[in-house]
Amino acid sequence: MVGFGPEDDHFVAELTYNYGVGHYKLGNDFMGITLASSQAVSNARKLEWPLNEVTEGVFEIKAPGGYKFYLQNHNPPQSDPILKVTLAVSDLKKSLNYWSNLLGMKIYEKNEETQRALLGYADNQCKLELQGIKGRVDHAAAFGRIAFSCPEKELPDLEDLMKRENQKILTPLVSLDTPGKATVQVVILADPDGHEICFVGDEAFRKLSKMDPEGGKLLDDAMAADKSDEWFARHKKPKASG
């Protein structure tokens, strides 16, 4: 889990490495993450990472897997530099009904002409941007899910609402055990375009998601170990035959 601060008040991304998978086929569902960070722009230039200025002061950059990020070349207006996550939708009106009327998100901006809307649960949190596209939303083989925490007592009511509205429930309300850590309750839904949405009980999740002060060092050590294993595998002498 990586981000600019604790999960209590920051958006974080979960990066998962699946052994044996060399690449992922990207769809048109995930359109990018936008963050405000002149430091990120400076880092990219220093590392000679390809930057494409799409509008004045906004640079498009791609992660190794092809996922897009949009870097605004200024300091963040809030404590979390991550401003929004953009998802493609095939019917903006239908999606707004789902995310706003059913899931309770506030609509901050809406533009029928550009088929775009900005939603969120709080003024100072990362926003969700819905961008209408022509044709269907294709998740291909590289899609993930977006997750929110909420009070545990609200999860049964949320599940009941989705049942009454005949909305898709991918994983009914369930308790997930993590050995040696807190047991969390989750329910996983799907919006009209199949975007997966996980709601997790906040009380237990706060315990489970406490920031590890050694997280950065552990990641660096793991990456160094992987590089060492890779070098050994490439340089290991073959066994003698016969």
Residues, the chain: 242
Q: Give the largest CA-CA distance in the chain.
A: 73
Which pLDDT score is estimated for 143?
83
User: How crowded is the C-beta side of 135, counted as CA atoms within 13 Å?
Assistant: 6
Degrees, nearest 5: CA angle 8-14-19: 155
Tell me the pLDDT tens digit for each residue of 162-221: 999 999 999 999 998 888 888 899 999 999 999 999 999 988 777 767 777 787 788 788
Distance of CA 36 to the CA centre of its chain: 16
Mean pLDDT score of the chain: 89
Which pLDDT score is estimated for 30?
96
Which pLDDT score is estimated for 215?
77
The amino acid at residue 35 is: L
**Nearest-angstrom CA–CA distance, 26 and 28:** 7
Which pLDDT score is estimated for 228?
56
Give me the DSSP letters along 104-116: -PEEEEEETTTTE
Interval 144-170 mean pLDDT: 95
**Nearest-angstrom CA–CA distance, 164 and 121:** 23
Interval 59-69 mean pLDDT: 94
Which pLDDT score is estimated for 237?
47
Closest by CA to 203, choosing from 146, 147, 152, is: 152
Give the Cβ contact number of residue 89 at 10 Å.
24
DSSP H helices, the chain, are 38-46, 92-96, 155-164, 202-208, 215-235
The amino acid at residue 19 is: Y
Model confidence at 230: pLDDT above 60: no
Tell me the pLDDT tens digit for each residue of 80-89: 999 999 999 9
Model confidence at 5: pLDDT above 70: yes
Model confidence at 150: pLDDT above 50: yes
More reliable by pLDDT, 144 or 127: 127
Mean pLDDT check: name the lowest of 42-56, 104-118, 226-240. 226-240
Model confidence at 13: pLDDT above 50: yes
Interval 43-67 mean pLDDT: 95
Which pLDDT score is estimated for 42?
96
Which pLDDT score is estimated for 227?
60
